[in-house]
Structure 1
Amino acid sequence: MNEDELLQLYGLEPDKKHRESIRKLVQQEMESREAEDHEVLKLLCIMLFAIGSVEDTELIWQAKRKNQDAGSYIDVQLLCGAGFEETIVYLEKKGGEQAHDQVLYLKKCEPYDFVDFSKDEWLSGYRGYYSI
């Protein structure tokens, strides 16, 4: 599926009932060797960000860490669809190496990328990006 098909199927801010389907598509996209760019992966991460389940931060993190290009395409703010503090608290409670690495990364980015962070403003920016 391309971005237009995904937007038509789910919209930029999908209903929570589509969360598992979108998660599966993220997994498929991460495993795909054929993806020439990461626009589809980025859009799927934006959709999860819009849904705002704190548990999705880990999947978005894995997508962001897929390779250097994916790391550039997927904005750090997408890791915090549930909110910055909520995400940090969730990851600290979860524990483990991946959660620890993600917390360190987020705290390093906080003074630069999360000043006056607003999920609504980021979604508004993405609506403009996709001409919605």
Structure 2
Amino acid sequence: MNEVELLKIYGVEPDQKHCERIRQLLRQEIEEPEGEDNEVLKLLCIMLFAVGNVEDTELIWRAKRKNQDTGSYIDVQLLCGAGLEETLVYLEHKQGDHAHEEWLYLKQCEPYDFVDFSKDQWLAGYKAYYNV
């Protein structure tokens, strides 16, 4: 599936009922060793960001860490669809190295990438980018 199809089916701000399917598609993109369509990967992350479930931060983190290109391509703000503070608290209480690594990363990025952070402004930017 490409971005046009994904946008037609789900939109930039999908209904909560589509989250599991979007997660499944994102997992497939992450696990595809030859998958080089970072646009699809990023759009799926944007969709989960828009819904704002704090648990999705871990899946978006996996997408961001897939390779060097996705590390740059997937905006750090996409990790915080539930909000920066809620995401940090969630990760702080989560067990495991990945959660701790993500928490440290967000703390390092906080003073630079989250000044005046507004989910609505980020979504508006993505909507403009996709002309929706």
TM-score calculated relative to the size of structure 2: 0.98
Q: What is the Cα deviation at residue 131 of structure 1? A: 1.1
Distance in 2, matches of 1:64 and 1:28, equals 14
Distance in 1, matches of 2:121 and 2:6, equals 22
Q: 2:5 maps to which residue?
A: 5
Gap runs ≥5 in structure 1: none
Aligned residues: 132
Q: 2:65 maps to which residue?
A: 65
Distance in 2, matches of 1:95 and 1:17, equals 28
Q: What is the Cα deviation at residue 80 of structure 1? A: 0.2
Q: 1:123 maps to which residue?
A: 123
TM-score calculated relative to the size of structure 1: 0.98
State the identity as a percent.
73
Counterparts of residues 68-79 of structure 1 (less than 5 Å): 68-79=68-79
Distance in 1, matches of 2:112 and 2:4, equals 32
Gap runs ≥5 in structure 2: none
SS in 2 for 1:54: coil
Task: Provide, for residues 110-130 of structure 1, a one-character-per-residue CA deviation record: whole Å limited to 9, x for no partner.
Answer: 011000100000000001111
Pairwise CA RMSD of aligned residues? 0.7
Distance in 2, matches of 1:11 and 1:124, equals 13
